Amino acid sequence: MIIKSLDNIIGTEDETSSENWTSRRFILNKDGVGFSMNDTIIKAGTDNFFWYKHHIEAVYCIEGEGEIEKVETGEVFEIKAGTMYLLDENDKHRLRATTQMRMVCVFNPALVGTETHNEEGFYPLLTE
């Protein structure tokens, strides 16, 4: 059994951030369960481009409001607390936060924890 507290992650190497977001990484590849899980804050008023070329991501919004745009089609969907979206086609997307958003993000394959978005918006596929 694995038990972790947000209080024990904040300020450690398992918390990473940019000017637009902060990600607290609860479950990582080293935990050996086949997926990773993050608690992520998206800052209000930000427009974020992401493309998880090597990962499938499921996101559950637990706080805040915004929208997600599927870049290839231009489709825009409202996101608010209680909304889940699944990027099951490695979708290039824009996430725009109207208010601060708090998201639970699950990645497959699992993140190792040191990934950062490259200039094209995706994480490299790391195994260690």
Average pLDDT across the chain, whole number = 92
Residue 113: predicted pLDDT: 73
Element (H, E) at 97: strand 92-97
Model confidence pLDDT, tens digit, residues 26-62: 999 999 999 999 999 999 999 999 998 888 999 999 9
Give the DSSP per-residue string, 53-74. Answer: TT-EEEEEEEE-EEEEEETTTT
Q: How far apart are CA 31 and CA 25, in angstroms?
A: 11
Q: Tell whether pTM > 0.75.
A: yes
What domains lie within the chain, and their CATH numbers?
6-108 (2.60.120.10)
